[in-house]
A = this chain, B = another copy of it.
Amino acid sequence: MTKEKEQQQKDEQFMQKALIEAKAAFDAGEIPIGAVIVCKDRIIARAHNLTETLHDVTAHAEMQAITAAADALGGKYLPECTLYVTIEPCTMCAGAIGWAQLRRIVYGATDEKRGFHKYAPEALHPKATITAGILEQECRELMRQFFLSKR
Tell me, rounded to whole Å, the shortest Cβ–Cβ distance linking A105 to chain B: 15
In the complex, what distance in Å separates the CA atom of A94 from the CA atom of B93?
11
Q: Is the interface of A mostly helix, strand, loop or mixed?
A: helix
Contact status of A76 and B51, CB under 8 A, knowing A56-B67, A57-B66, A120-B119: yes
6 inter-chain pairs at a CB distance below 8 angstroms, sorted by A residue, are A57-B66, A57-B100, A91-B95, A91-B123, A92-B92, A92-B93
Question: In residues 61-108 of chain A, which contact B (Cβ within 8 Å)?
Answer: 63, 66-67, 70-71, 74-77, 90-96, 98-100
Q: Is the CB of A58 within 8 A of B51?
A: no
Tell me, rounded to whole Å, the shortest Cβ–Cβ distance linking A120 to chain B: 4
Set of chain B residues within 8 Å of A94, measured between Cβ atoms: 91-92, 95
In the complex, what distance in Å separates the CA atom of A66 from the CA atom of B57?
8
The listed residue (B77, B96, B119, B123) touching A122 by CB distance below 8 A is B119
Smallest CB gap from A66: residue in B: B58
Q: Is the CB of A70 within 8 A of B57?
A: yes
Indicate whether A3 reaches chain B with its CB closer than 8 angstroms: no
Indicate whether A127 reaches chain B with its CB closer than 8 angstroms: no
Tell me, rounded to whole Å, the shortest Cβ–Cβ distance linking A121 to chain B: 9
